[in-house]
């Protein structure tokens, strides 16, 4: 089967869906791999590296899609400025598209795929099971995002992180508050601790308290907290009453912090507001808020998607695509996640979609001209 990998066209996206090392593994497994010219440059991978790995370099995007049986992408399909069509319209009937779509937020993509009879696997819908661990792109990319969030926030802060004793006096360590102890939050905790900060972590799932403490963080207890984790390992949507109680509890922690990093997302829902405008008003001048959820509404009431702004003397970073700022390693990890998926659903250069398979069942959104994901069906009725 022919796998095509286009250059990402979403503004600000520097990743590539397949790196040269994975290309050689796919070719060894019996696939033909085509890469759009310069697709990997922003991530640090040259056309020569792809050619050396055995890929064919295609200059024209229409040609790239015209014979593709499988398409690897990072971002969801959008209108292509050069081709004058949506990327889905460039694909032939029966193509298997594998990418991030966040289809619970963008159900129109599923509808368009059914119209064009494109089979869609949404990588963000891969079930969080032991078997699917190697394919878990949300975790691999969140790890990178958690690391980068601390580096960016530290860069904006006019203080250093560690305790430092000098002849000129003692410098107290920076105080970092992280909201959400998922993969991104725990990586942010580990990174901030390595830099020498004192770190406090808040989460609606009481089950993560031990993980936070094992990494050297202090867990912020919310009175009446319940276990807010679903069977898939995601945070459930909290009640307005619980969120209000959480805000009251963390007000003191947030307003005394040098840096606040928010990471809370609920699949298919608007991101919960965790840092109110009132909290920001009471933060120390020069402190920093980094909101990792701006693509889906934001956890900070006054953050702006894709922008770094100053309000009430506080720097608020609204970067919506942190993994794209570390494109080499993000691409390598994403590419290996897809390779693991292909190894699971394919054999000897051919992919077979077995609908009874747990991983296929969870991530396959459209198939043979119909929507097969019940959650997505409910959204587009």
Q: What is the CATH number of the domain that holds 62?
A: 3.40.50.720
Regarding whether 352 and 319 lie in a shared domain, the answer is no
- Residue 76 a catalytic site member: no
- Residue 133 a catalytic site member: yes
**Tally: H helices and E strands in the chain:** 13, 21
> Residue 235 has what pLDDT?
60
N- to C-terminal Cα distance for the chain? 34
- Residue 66 a catalytic site member: no
Regarding whether 148 and 120 lie in a shared domain, the answer is no
- Is residue 99 in some structural domain? yes
Q: Of these residues, 124, 136, 258, 291, which one is catalytic?
A: 136
CA–centroid distance for 153 within its chain: 18
Cβ atoms of 206 and 180 closer than 8 Å:
no
**CA separation for the pair 262, 253 (Å, rounded):** 13
Burial track 159-171 (b if 16+ CB lie within 10 A, e otherwise): bebeeeeeeeeee
- Is residue 225 in some structural domain? yes
Place of tokens 């399909």: 77
Residue 337 burial class via C-beta count within 10 angstroms: exposed 0-12, middle 13-18, buried 19 and up = buried
Angle between helices 137-156 and 183-194 (to 10 degrees): 40
Cβ atoms of 89 and 116 closer than 8 Å:
yes
Regarding whether 259 and 117 lie in a shared domain, the answer is no
Please give the structure tokens belonging to residue 220. 């912020």
CA dihedral 143, 147, 152, 155 (to 10 degrees): 180
Residues of the chain whose pLDDT is less than 50? none
- Is residue 343 in some structural domain? no
- Is residue 137 in some structural domain? no
Cβ atoms of 102 and 126 closer than 8 Å:
no
Regarding whether 30 and 105 lie in a shared domain, the answer is yes
Answer positive or negative: Cα dihedral of 200, 203, 209, 212.
negative
Q: Of these residues, 234, 276, 312, 343, which one is catalytic?
A: 234
- Residue 139 a catalytic site member: yes
**CA separation for the pair 335, 46 (Å, rounded):** 16
Cβ atoms of 247 and 255 closer than 8 Å:
no
**CA separation for the pair 377, 111 (Å, rounded):** 9
> Residue 104 has what pLDDT?
93
C-alpha closest to that of 138 among 129, 147, 128: 128
**CA separation for the pair 274, 243 (Å, rounded):** 8
Regarding whether 103 and 57 lie in a shared domain, the answer is yes
> Residue 313 has what pLDDT?
97
Regarding whether 294 and 159 lie in a shared domain, the answer is yes
- Is residue 333 in some structural domain? no
pLDDT tens across 171-209, in order? 999 999 999 999 999 999 999 999 999 999 998 888 899
Q: Of these residues, 63, 128, 305, 312, which one is catalytic?
A: 128
DSSP state at residue 256: T
Cross-strand partners of 195: none
Q: Dmax over Cα atoms in the chain, in whole Å?
A: 72
Predicted structure pTM score: 0.91
- Is residue 136 in some structural domain? no
- Is residue 332 in some structural domain? no
Q: Of these residues, 59, 66, 79, 133, which one is catalytic?
A: 133
Residue range(s) defining the domain that contains residue 91: 2-125+348-380
Answer positive or negative: Cα dihedral of 43, 101, 211, 303.
positive
Number of domains into which the chain is organized? 2
- Is residue 110 in some structural domain? yes
Please give the structure tokens belonging to residue 156. 């904006």
Please give the structure tokens belonging to residue 24. 């050689």
Q: Of these residues, 4, 34, 139, 141, which one is catalytic?
A: 139
């Amino acid at each position: 089967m022919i796998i095509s990998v286009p250059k990402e066209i979403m503004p600000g996206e520097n990743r590539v869906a397949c790196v040269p090392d994975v290309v050689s593994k796919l070719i060894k497994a019996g696939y033909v791999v085509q890469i759009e010219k310069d697709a990997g440059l922003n991530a640090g991978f040259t056309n020569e590296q792809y050619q050396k790995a055995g890929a064919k370099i295609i200059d024209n995007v229409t040609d790239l899609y015209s014979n593709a049986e499988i398409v690897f992408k990072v971002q969801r399909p959008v209108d292509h400025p050069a081709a004058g069509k949506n990327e889905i319209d460039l694909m032939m009937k029966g193509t298997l598209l594998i990418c991030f779509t966040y289809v619970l937020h963008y159900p129109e993509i599923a509808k368009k795929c059914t119209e064009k009879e494109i089979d869609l696997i949404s990588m963000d819908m891969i079930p969080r099971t032991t078997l699917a661990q190697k394919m878990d792109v949300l975790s691999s990319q969140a790890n990178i995002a958690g690391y980068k969030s601390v580096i960016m926030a530290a860069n904006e802060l006019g203080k250093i992180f560690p305790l430092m004793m000098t002849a000129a006096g003692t410098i107290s360590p920076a105080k970092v508050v992280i909201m959400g102890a998922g993969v991104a939050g725990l990586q942010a905790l580990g990174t901030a601790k390595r830099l020498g900060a004192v770190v406090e972590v808040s989460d609606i799932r009481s089950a993560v308290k031990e993980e936070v403490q094992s990494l050297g963080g202090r867990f912020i207890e919310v009175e009446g907290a319940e276990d807010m984790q679903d069977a898939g390992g995601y945070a459930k949507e909290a009640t307005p009453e619980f969120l209000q109680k959480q805000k009251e509890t963390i007000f003191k922690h947030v307003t005394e912090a040098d840096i606040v990093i928010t990471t809370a997302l609920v699949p298919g829902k608007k991101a919960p507001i965790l840092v109110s405008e009132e909290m920001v008003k009471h933060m120390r001048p020069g402190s920093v808020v980094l909101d990792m959820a701006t693509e889906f509404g934001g956890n900070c009431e006054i953050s702006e998607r894709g922008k770094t702004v100053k309000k009430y003397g506080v720097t608020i970073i609204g970067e919506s695509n942190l993994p794209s700022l570390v494109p080499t390693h993000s691409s390598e990890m994403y590419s290996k996640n897809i390779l693991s998926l292909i190894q699971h659903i394919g054999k000897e250069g051919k992919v077979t979609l077995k609908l009874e398979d747990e991983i296929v069942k969870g991530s396959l959104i459209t198939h043979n001209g119909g929507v097969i994901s019940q959650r997505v069906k409910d959204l587009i009725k």
